[in-house]
Structure 1
Amino acid sequence: MKDKILRELYEKKGQYISGEELSEKYQVSRTAIWKHMNALKKEGYVIETTHKKGYKLIESSGKLIPEALKRDLNTVEIGNKIIYFDTIDSTNNYSKRIAKDAAHGTVIISEEQSGGRGRLGRNWISPKGEGIWMSIVLKPDIPPTEGMKMTQIAAAAVCNAIRGVTGLEAFIKWPNDLVVNGKKVCGILTEMAGELTRIDYLIVGIGINANNESFLEEFQHIATSLAKEKGEKVDRKTLILHLLKEFEGLYEDYINQGTLEKTLAIIRNYSAVLGKSILVIRGEQQLKATVLGIDEEGLLEVKYEDGKRELLMSGEVSIRGEEGYI
């Protein structure tokens, strides 16, 4: 009932809707409507209440409104269904629980994650109402060996979206991080289920520090938010809409053309690592190398101090700058 009332408020945005009208439409008491309105207010929605007029949703609220996303989303498949939570353990975890029956392109978004995860099992801090914590369910007809290319498609899409919406100079730290001014603003976690020759589903998890105001001391030297770098808050809804549109375009191009050409052009153009000296990390081992390029499959070509060259696969290693995050 609360979601139905929220939809009514959004569709009437800028106008009042009376408690009596809602009561009659949904066959509940006006007291029940009042209680649902208070519950929405506690969740962070700004709702104006005026005697004899009723209720009005004030859109200045920073809260994500799923109805607004659905109405304004200009895509065909990606985002065909949006599942929204106020809080959840992890959008990736939930996506895996529903993936078998979920439609291709389903998007899961939460205001908060209590158990967000990054690559290699790292924790991802996901404070309520500050960032973008979302996952996309994909069911592509591609070999499992191609699955990790979704990470690169997502990275390119996020990079274009951040640059287009905020004007900030975002760069891609291969394979799954986005950085602004040398600090991390986004991480991507792709997970896959399937058999030897086919994919059942792919989950692309995206976490963006949009309006985060503070970070734990241990992360302050490597992480930042778009708002901190821009000096003002970012409209999360607009960023999500641009991101999903960019993702669908690059995804469809890859599926139709069979290559990552468009995606890799973005990754190379906005790479944070090309030509730089880095540390290649495998477990406890760290080796110095220079990044030479990114091949047609999205593998990172590096040259070690001993002259040996190697193509790195994203699932095997991590990289970081010699003197910091990048």
Structure 2
Amino acid sequence: MTPDKHPNWPEGHRCIVLDTVDSTMAEAARRASDLHYPTWIMAREQTDARGRRGRPWENPKGNLSATLLMKPLCTAQAAAQRSFVAANALLEALSLYIDRRRISLKWPNDVLINGGKAAGILLESSGRGPFVDWLSVGIGVNLSYAPVVEEAVFAPVSVAGEGGEPVPPGEFLVTLANAFATQEKKLDAMGFTRIREDWLKHAARLGDTITARTTTETIEGLFDTIDKDGNLVLITAKGPRSIPAADVYF
């Protein structure tokens, strides 16, 4: 049974399950013009999966690899806020299988369990006018296995390896799809302010000194908040800095 045949699958959403694909993100881009409903694309195996900034992403069988293709009527800036929508949804979904107190959200797009990387989020969009034509939200979750990544700053961990309940990828996708739909309703009803507030409640190292590395500089400061656009705000020796994109270390 595919996830969208599950009785708890969110209404109005579709699901495509593939045995093998280069990446669910690439598949979403190929199908974008033909899909008119929010559609999850899940693959049992990816041959060319990637993460942020084109980094490779390993996904052993038993882990979740999925992309949500959607067509929100919004600007590129608003579309980027779905990274935080996805993070909140992942936290809520994962908390059904592992103690939520072990889960934290690392800016800009990772979910940690006991300080190790358990899930990653990747956004891609396309559009020529004021609004995006489509948005893809790629999500990888280490449910059963933690890939081996040499010299990883945040060592990969899995839900099962950290003492969580075992869950098949398809079953977890049903939980995640519902959690994402709920977060979308929050965004529609209450705006990004509510999404931001919920994200900050679980932000990793909020109030601590962290390091942000952009393509041009390294910035150290106290992690104060994220602003109304989702930018990282650090209190540095030279005053507050708002950082739209960076890799974070602590």
Q: Calculate the TM-score normalised by the size of structure 2.
A: 0.92
Determine if the alignment matches structure 1 residue 75 to structure 2 residue 10: yes
Matching residue of 2:180: 247
Determine if the alignment matches structure 1 residue 309 to structure 2 residue 240: yes
User: 1:173 & 1:223 partners in 2: Cα distance?
Assistant: 13
Q: How does 1:11-30 map to 2 (within 5 A)?
A: none
Determine if the alignment matches structure 1 residue 145 to structure 2 residue 77: yes
- Alpha carbons of structure 1 residues 108 and 254: separation in structure 2 relative to 1, 3 Å: same
The one-letter code sitting in structure 2 at the alignment partner of 1:312 is I
CA contact (8 A) 1:141 1:199 kept: yes
User: Which of the numbers 35, 45, 55 marks the counterpart of 1:122?
Assistant: 55
User: Which of the numbers 33, 48, 51 marks the counterpart of 1:100?
Assistant: 33
Higher helix share: 1
Counting aligned pairs with the same residue, the percent is 26
User: 2:111 & 2:94 partners in 1: Cα distance?
Assistant: 9
Q: CA deviation at 1:289?
A: 1.4
Q: How does 1:1-326 map to 2 (within 5 A)?
A: 65-66=1-2, 68-77=3-12, 80-127=13-60, 129-168=61-100, 169-212=102-145, 214-219=147-152, 222-230=155-163, 233-257=166-190, 259-283=191-215, 285-304=217-236, 306-313=237-244, 316-321=245-250
The one-letter code sitting in structure 1 at the alignment partner of 2:81 is K
User: 2:216 & 2:149 partners in 1: Cα distance?
Assistant: 25
User: 1:212 & 1:179 partners in 2: Cα distance?
Assistant: 14
CA RMSD of aligned residues (A): 1.9
1:223 is paired with a residue whose SS is coil
CA contact (8 A) 1:106 1:138 kept: yes
Q: CA deviation at 1:213?
A: 5.2
Query: Tell me, which stretches of 5 or more residues in structure 1 are unaligned?
Result: 1-64, 322-326
CA contact (8 A) 1:103 1:137 kept: no
CA contact (8 A) 1:278 1:288 kept: yes
Q: CA deviation at 1:282?
A: 1.1
CA contact (8 A) 1:157 1:243 kept: yes
The one-letter code sitting in structure 2 at the alignment partner of 1:170 is I
After superposition, the C-alpha distances for 1:279-306 in whole angstroms (9 at most, x for unaligned) are 11012532211101122332221112x2
Higher strand share: 2
- Alpha carbons of structure 1 residues 130 and 219: separation in structure 2 relative to 1, 3 Å: farther
User: 1:133 & 1:237 partners in 2: Cα distance?
Assistant: 10
Q: CA deviation at 1:221?
A: 5.7
CA contact (8 A) 1:165 1:239 kept: no
1:227 is paired with a residue whose SS is coil
1:319 is paired with a residue whose SS is strand
- Alpha carbons of structure 1 residues 211 and 273: separation in structure 2 relative to 1, 3 Å: same
Query: Tell me, which stretches of 5 or more residues in structure 2 are unaligned?
Result: none
- Alpha carbons of structure 1 residues 196 and 164: separation in structure 2 relative to 1, 3 Å: same
Q: CA deviation at 1:216?
A: 3.9
The one-letter code sitting in structure 1 at the alignment partner of 2:210 is I
User: 2:133 & 2:46 partners in 1: Cα distance?
Assistant: 25
